[in-house]
Amino acid sequence: MKKVIMLGGGGFAREVLDTIHVINAHTDDAIEPIGFVYDSGESDAGVLIHGIPVLGEISCLKNVDLNEVLLVSAVGRSVWRRKMVEEARSLGARFMSVIHPTAIISKWSKIGEGAIIQRFCGINTEVVVGDFFVANAYTGVGHDTVIGDYVHINPNVNISGGTVIGHDVFIGVKATVFPVTIGEGAVIGACALVTKDVPPNMMAKGIPARFYAMEKKEY
C-alpha cells in the first residue's frame, strides 16, 4: 500500500482520485490517499472529500513524515501547480505519477516526474515530456513532440506530431495543434485551431487561432 497526499482539492483532484480508484482495482500494490492539501488561504481543514480529509494549507506538510508518504500533483492549472509543487518540494515532498490503465504511452516515449495521465490518452512514439505534466481524458500527442514542465492539456486536445510546447503552457479543451512551437507560458483557448507558432506568454484562441496579450496568466 502506497500512502499518498493529494496536492489540490478541486474538481481536477477529484478526477485524479477517481483514476486512483480505477488503478487500485487493477493492482495488488494499491495507492491509499490519506488527505488533500490546499493552496494557502483556501484551507477547509477537516472537511471530507469522498471520505478523505482535507489536511489544511500546504504548510501542514511540515507536520507530515514525508519519508513515509508520496504526493500526487492534482492541481488543475499550470500556474498554481508550479507554485504548489515548488512549495511542497521545498518542504521535502516527493511525487508519484498517476497514469490511468486505459492510457497508452509508447515504450519509446519519456515522461518526467509527477505526471497525471487520464483515461484514454495516447502518447505516441518518441515523445519527450518534462515534469508535472497533465494530459486529461482523450488527449492525443503525436510522434516526436517535445513538452516542457508543468504543461496542462485539457480533455479531447489533439497535438500533431513534431510539436514543441514550452514550460507552463495551458491548452483548453478540444484544441487542435498543428506541428508548431508554442512558447513558454502561453494559454491556448478551448476549441482553438493553432496553425502558427505561438509566442511565449500569449493567449491564442479561435479558428484559426489569433494571438492576444495577457496582462496576467491565470491558467
Ligand X SMILES: CC(C)(COP(=O)(O)OP(=O)(O)OC[C@H]1O[C@@H](n2cnc3c(N)ncnc32)[C@H](O)[C@@H]1OP(=O)(O)O)[C@@H](O)C(=O)NCCC(=O)NCCS
Query: Looking at 38-46, 96-104, 126-134, 200-208, which segment touches ligand X (CB under 6 A)?
Result: 200-208
Q: Which is nearer to ligand X, 15 or 131 (CB)?
A: 15
Residue entry with cell 513538452: 147
How near is the Cβ of 171 to ligand X at its closest, in Å?
8
Name, in order, each residue with C-beta under 8 angstroms of 17's C-beta and a sequence gap of 6 or more: 6, 33, 49, 50, 52, 74
193 contacts ligand X (rule: CB under 6 A): no
3-state secondary structure 53-105: EEEEEHHHHHHCCCCCCEEEECCCCHHHHHHHHHHHHHCCCCECCEECCCCEE
Residue entry with cell 480529509: 53
Name, in order, each residue with C-beta under 8 angstroms of 164's C-beta and a sequence gap of 6 or more: 145, 146, 180, 181, 182
Query: Looking at 39-47, 140-148, 177-185, 199-207, which segment touches ligand X (CB under 6 A)?
Result: 199-207
Q: Which is nearer to ligand X, 4 or 175 (CB)?
A: 175
Site string for ligand X, 116-155 (x = CB under 6 A): --------------------------------------xx
Q: Is 100 a catalytic residue?
A: no
Catalytic positions, written as ranges: 143
Residues lying near ligand X in the complex (CB under 6 A) are found at: 154-155, 172-173, 187, 189-191, 203, 205-206, 219
